[in-house]
Amino acid sequence: MIRPVRRAPAWAWPSATPTWAVVLLAAVVVLLLPGTADAHAVLKSTDPADGQVLAQAPRTITATFNEAISLAPKGNLLLDSTGRPVPAEVRSVNDTVVYTPASTLAEGTYVVSWRVVSADTHPVGGGISFSVGRPSANSVAVPTQVADREVNLLRIGAEVLRYGGVLGFAGLTAFGLFIAEPSVRRSATFARRVRRVRDALAAAAVLGAVVLIPLVKLWQDGTGLGDLFSGSVWPAALSTAPAAAAALLAVGTGLALVAAGRRSPVAAAAGTALALGSLAVVGHTRVYGPGWLVLAADLLHLATAALWVGGLLGLCLLFVPDPDHRTAEVASAVGRFSTAALWLVAGLGVSAVVLWWRIADSVEGLWTTAYGRLVLVKLVLVLAVIGVAAWNRYRLVPAVLVGASRRATLDALRRTVGVEAAGLAVVVAVTGVLVSQTPREEAAATPVAAAPAASSGPKTLTAAVGDAKATMVISPGKRGVNALQLSLVDAEGVPLVPHETPELSVRLPAYELGPFKKPLSTTGKGTYEATVDFPLDGTWTVTLVVRLSEFESPVVSQEVVIP
């Protein structure tokens, strides 16, 4: 009796593949920068400086940022020491906010606040105070205007819905047309199942994008949900980048759905490309350059992530019991996807490296910033998913095709693919949160040279104040409540008594906290003390204003690393 020769599957895996080492290397850097992480405008300088005392009233007050900005409708004010608005024209000129008082400012202290919108649509707020002639006896704090908590939570939720919907829809469309096309033709039940999930994901993506239009506007303006139906919100929101992204997404999903229904792969691919491109309309690709490189890397990143997410979702649907499915056919679909996944991981790794290099511009930021730590969490999740995928590829898929217990092995493969898909769902959720973070500002907030100062123990800061010298000792020098002792001496080392009690303030640039003014109490000739609370670790800026005479008021700033 002649036994039939068992033929090897056409997609047989390479043995002892050296490419696996390449895959692991790519995995280490995979998704280092999620989707479209954004970078906020950073304040470079103000004129006058914060706390400065001017002999004459300025004609204009300016705040200059590191990129072009636009004014938010609210939050740009010039106030007197009692908190009353001072009539002034406020305008943005490229990267600068310019305040022009309607009349000459009288003697006293003034507060300037700003709320601007970065090129990536993110709002940035802050403020300074300065004085004309002599400081007022009392002054108000710099006003802050932040978005309502509910607005921010809904915005993040809409981002997750949009990202998850777009990635799942695009990937599942490609899966049905290319990876599992034989199963779609053979089983009407499976084809209907793929279509329903794909349509639901498309609807979720469009819904998230549409909801984002007014939410981003409320977030930029620093207003609450009560203004959602204000007559001024929607007209302004419809002319913003999120509205353009939503329109592009709607057109892309509509084209892809129609083309997929008519079995037109080329038109469907064009529609999914438009849908994925809508995610790059707003974000770092609009800020950093070279534009062609960052945009290309961003689109590659999105496309490979979509194919991975949608492919895993499609495999989960393929594993649902169906009498029209054959075990070998299911295993072959898993094999084709796993082969494609090899290139997906490589594409994700390459695009992630390019994006992190051009956007974050920091390696230390991965563990010294909030953004970097979230990226590391995402990286761990991706590595776990890759581990499960490797087990599927090298152990379970071959066992299904040539093993004796094919049904039991197929059940195990079904479970591990489900775990892989659940892990990627968490990665997508983390991505939705990360798009609200800023990579470069936080990554650059702690200079490498300042790292030695992060050790515990009292911190000593010294600075020249005109011809005099100021020494500040901060103890215990760690997060929480600290005591600050200030001593002033002249050029001869003799204790110096300034014209008025110095002014002290602290701020944390990485998180846009402050400045917080801390009152100093006199403890002796030229010596003062204050209680300073550092609620977060990081590089804090300590600013001291010492009024040496009627018209001389130097402003000095020192950085201190609080562990």
pLDDT tens sequence across 322-343: 777 666 667 677 767 766 665 6
Sign of CA dihedral 259, 263, 266, 270: positive
**Which of the pair, 438 or 379, is modelled with greater confidence?**
379
pLDDT band at 444; cut points 50, 70, 90? very low
In this prediction, residue 52 carries a pLDDT of: 87
Query: Going along 198-299, which residue ranges are E strands?
Result: none
Percentage of the chain beyond pLDDT 70 is 71
**Which of the pair, 55 or 291, is modelled with greater confidence?**
55
Which of 297-311, 320-334, 538-552: highest mean pLDDT?
538-552
**Which of the pair, 322 or 286, is modelled with greater confidence?**
322
Per the prediction, the chain carries an average pLDDT of 76
**Which of the pair, 65 or 141, is modelled with greater confidence?**
65
The CA distance from 76 to 217, in Å, is 16
In this prediction, residue 524 carries a pLDDT of: 86
Window from 155-164, 185-194, 360-369, 524-533 with minimum mean pLDDT: 360-369
**Contact, 498 vs 532, CB < 8 A?**
no
User: What would the mean pLDDT of 285-313 be, rounded to a whole number?
Assistant: 68
pLDDT tens sequence across 228-256: 877 778 888 888 888 988 999 999 999 99
**pLDDT of 59 above 90:** yes
In this prediction, residue 296 carries a pLDDT of: 66
**Got the DSSP string for 64-89?**
EESS--EE-SS--EEEETTSPBPPEE
Window from 369-383, 432-446, 477-491, 545-559 with minimum mean pLDDT: 432-446
Residue that the structure tokens 């705040």 belong to: 63
Residue of 186, 153, 191 whose CA lies nearest to 172: 191
In this prediction, residue 295 carries a pLDDT of: 63
pLDDT tens sequence across 12-22: 333 333 333 33
In this prediction, residue 416 carries a pLDDT of: 76
Q: Could you tell me which residues come within 8 angstroms of residue 93 by beta carbon, excluding any fewer than 6 positions away?
A: none
**pLDDT of 160 above 50:** yes
pLDDT band at 51; cut points 50, 70, 90? confident
**pLDDT of 32 above 50:** no
**Which of the pair, 146 or 302, is modelled with greater confidence?**
302
pLDDT tens sequence across 108-118: 999 999 888 88
Single pTM value for the model: 0.56
Percentage of the chain beyond pLDDT 90 is 17
The CA distance from 414 to 396, in Å, is 10
In this prediction, residue 28 carries a pLDDT of: 35
**pLDDT of 441 above 60:** no
pLDDT band at 155; cut points 50, 70, 90? confident
Give me the helices (H) in 360-402, please: 365-368, 370-391, 397-402
**pLDDT of 4 above 60:** no
User: What would the mean pLDDT of 284-293 be, rounded to a whole number?
Assistant: 53
User: What would the mean pLDDT of 362-389 be, rounded to a whole number?
Assistant: 68
The CA distance from 262 to 175, in Å, is 16
In this prediction, residue 442 carries a pLDDT of: 37
**pLDDT of 49 above 60:** yes
**pLDDT of 91 above 80:** yes
In this prediction, residue 547 carries a pLDDT of: 84
User: What would the mean pLDDT of 305-319 be, rounded to a whole number?
Assistant: 80
In this prediction, residue 450 carries a pLDDT of: 34
In this prediction, residue 79 carries a pLDDT of: 92
Window from 100-109, 208-217, 295-304, 511-520 with minimum mean pLDDT: 295-304
pLDDT band at 273; cut points 50, 70, 90? confident
CA 222-227-230 angle, 5° bins: 125
In this prediction, residue 362 carries a pLDDT of: 58
The CA distance from 182 to 322, in Å, is 14
Window from 168-177, 270-279, 292-301, 520-529 with minimum mean pLDDT: 292-301
**Which of the pair, 433 or 275, is modelled with greater confidence?**
275
